[in-house]
Structure 1
Amino acid sequence: MKCPYCGQLNNRVVDSRLSRSEFAVRRRRECLDCMRRFTTYEKVEDLPVMVVKKDGRREEFNRDKILSGIKKACEKRAISVDQIEEVVDSVERDFRDANEKEISSTVVGNKVMELLHRLDDVAYVRFASVYREFKDVDDFIEELKSLIPRKILEDKKPDGCSDDG
């Protein structure tokens, strides 16, 4: 492994352990020339899972694309990087474990929304608004109605209003 600092190949492994996702081995290395340490990750090379887009195009499953979308949805929320990584790991693990060569982008999006729904309602709605291509406020309201228990909606009605008309 080439040292990222000095470019030399002379280094040793100081520590090895499974990464948090358990998909890779994390190795701390020390360059024997410049004595600096760096981290590498080793993982099994999988056959690519292809994502079938709504228009029929196919592209390789891209973990970073999912991570980026989830990070945007979770901005300014009390959600740790570890929690975001767990969601992405779970999505990736589910699809890798399924041993499918192709998976629909709809299935991917729905899985992300399911996991975000459990994690944080605001992040869920943000992601859903982009994924489901909300066109106006009415789309947001409909989605929010599914999140708010009916009892809370009824309690918020002004006095004198009823469902009877």
Structure 2
Amino acid sequence: MIKRVLQILLIGSLLAGAWFAGHVINSKYSHVDRTSTSSPIAHLPAYRLVDLAGKAHHTSQWSDKVVILNFWASWCPPCQTEMPALSDLQDEWANHGLQILGIAIDKVDDAKTFSVSHPVSYPLFRGGMTEAKLSKRMGNRLLELPFTAAFGRDGQLIFAQAGAIPAASLRKHIEPML
């Protein structure tokens, strides 16, 4: 019985992964990345982001801040776990020049639904394969979620980490910059 349940769970996981990969590859929300598609990123790129309501923003509007890009998905348990800690950091350090930006590598409707039931104090943006590739250029070699990259006030990459990042570790990296 347990073996049968495990088989069903494995098949379900594989199907969900195939669905997600197909969705991301065929996402209608692609954005122009004005930097080379293969070169590593060491500086916050000039980039257009679209929030969950459909409004366009540009990374240049945060050029005087320490910027944290957090790539996440509504179906990702580690993403769900770290989002409240990121929201707390945004609340605590916003007046000192911190700006966290969440980029959902997810279906827009799923990200919207999730954001209503799990509100955060930082803006959330739509993402697709282009944004996943952007995270790869920032060091996310295996396209893991969550993925976090932090940039100093000068736009230079401070650090990048795949997987959930403990708030204490994030603080260690960003507090000296604030």
TM-score by length of 1: 0.23
